[in-house]
Amino acid sequence: MDALINARLIFVFAVVVVAGCVAPKAYNVHNLDDASYSMPAKGTALISNVIDEQPSPELSGFYPLIDGLDAFAARIALIETAQYSVDLQYYLYHREETSQLLSAYLLRAAERGVRVRLLLDDLSQANLEQDLSALAVHNNVEVRLFNPLNHRRLRFLSFITDYSRVSRRMHNKSFIVDSELFITGGRNIGNAYFSGDHNSQFVDFDVLGVGPIVDKATMAFDLYWNHPLAEDINELSGSADSQDLAQLSSRLSRYVSTAFHNESPYIQRLKESTLVQTLVNGKLSMDWAEAQLYVDDPNKLLTDSRNNSTHMAPKLFAAMGEPRQRVNIISPYFIPKDKGLELIKKWREQGVAVTVLTNSLAATDVPVVHAGYADYRQQLLAMGVELWELKRNLDLAAQQPKRKGFRGSSTASLHAKSMTMDDDKIFVGSLNLDPRSFNLNTEQGLLIHSERMNRLLSRWITTEMPKYAWQLSLDEQGDIVWQDRKNQQRLTTEPDTSAWLRFKVWLMSLLPIEDVL
């Protein structure tokens, strides 16, 4: 969703209206003769060396990856210790320092005999396609693009000829090593997700998991990997050759060598990350709990959005049950629509405290979504919902000097997708609470039955959020007021925004955007 829904959506509306009579190009839903499946778990040294003992075979172990540096360090450590397989599934894979480092380590793993499968949504891979094609030349590497666009050069034409399909994307995030360790959550692959961008930063949340939950993750990955919408990259881009691979390998090797020998600022910070220091000094203390993995059926992209038989969200909310005391919601894009409002109203009438954290207009990376969300604020506040919006400028490094993941960042945007219920349930995944995630894109996430993980997020909401977010309320006239509890500031217009930006968002709100968000 991050790259798809933006200001260009207005252009898409115009194109669809003008080109509505253009017949969509037929997509070849093919049968894959080269299906492959996850390797059976055989026991990996990383688990025995750095993870505490599993108390029961029915329980899975979880370790939160809140800091961006920790999240990247975990991925590199897992690739470096992989013995058999590495499977990655992502929506975005930017051509930046972190993704280049990750690619270098994936290639290094392939060189020592590890099988690498890389499954990416096709929408935003244009600038990386040559690298990915070269990577796939290696005998131990396979790269597939999910739901590929029909037009490879003039990619925007696909939105004219086949809008209903290509506007729906694979938004899943999955990172699996040796079929025994698993990372999922909100992060894509790129600098802003791993505290590596000097200008902007995503506030995000991942979870590292071990135990029986990983079996579910491998089955979900295989389901997508072997789906007809997963196309081999060299069938789409034209086959690369061994010379392309050699050039890529040489460039990535130089990249890693330069970064580590010269100790780039990012590498210096990475070595000092909390996770790295924990691994150096001892074992990770896992939270052992019952958990379920919820994944959309990939056929969701090919079926009518009104048919929710392929959707994970109804199953997830049924499993979460009815709250008794409190619900905390963290979602960068929050558009509850009428059904969500009815549910929240019911909770409030039952005395359940509801807290929502989302992006402010200044912080969001997708202003058009804010246009869809803004009209719900007064209704939510009138119900008694505690509503917070993340500030754009976060001085996190000054307030938390040990949180090196935020150093060098001048702006921030919420990207974590999580929800806690009462004291014992927490959801972490790729699912935004908006119509696109529910009905159009494919998503996945974990429901963990854990008081410890629940407390971790709930404590951040109650103690840290007032430092980093505006609290919204209604004045006597029923208009919205933004309050900065930390600095005792009170505003009556969207904080840190220009009149021009507010006008553009208002203009977007006049369009029927909720049907495509």
Active site residues: 171, 173, 178, 415, 417, 422
Residues 6+ apart with CB under 8 A from 391: 360, 362, 363, 412, 468, 469, 470, 484, 495, 496
How far from 137 is each of 95, 179, 230, 318, CA to CA, in Å? 19, 24, 17, 44
CA-closest candidate to residue 48, choices 241, 270, 226, 284: 284
B/e letters for 94-113, b = 16+ CB within 10 Å, e = fewer, are bbbbbbbbbbbbbbbbbeee
Residue appearing with tokens 């910070």: 269
d(CA 480, CA 473): 6
Helix locations, 213-241, DSSP H: 213-225, 233-237
Residues contacting 263, CB < 8 A, separation 6+: none
**Residue 206 near residue 185 (C-beta atoms within 8 A):** yes
Q: What are the structure tokens assigned to 164, written together?
A: 């209903």
Query: What is the pairing mode between strands 480-484 and 174-177?
Result: unpaired
CA-only gyration radius of the chain, Å: 22
Alpha carbons 97 and 335: distance in angstroms, whole number: 33
Whole-angstrom distance, CA of residue 330 vs CA of residue 416: 7
The answer to whether 408 touches 265, Cβ cutoff 8 Å, is: yes
* Nearest by Cα to 333 from 291, 303, 301, 363: 363
Measured in degrees and rounded to the nearest 5, phi and psi for residue 355 equal -120, 135
Are 51 and 44 a contacting pair, CB within 8 Å? no
Closest CA to 456 of 468, 466, 448: 448
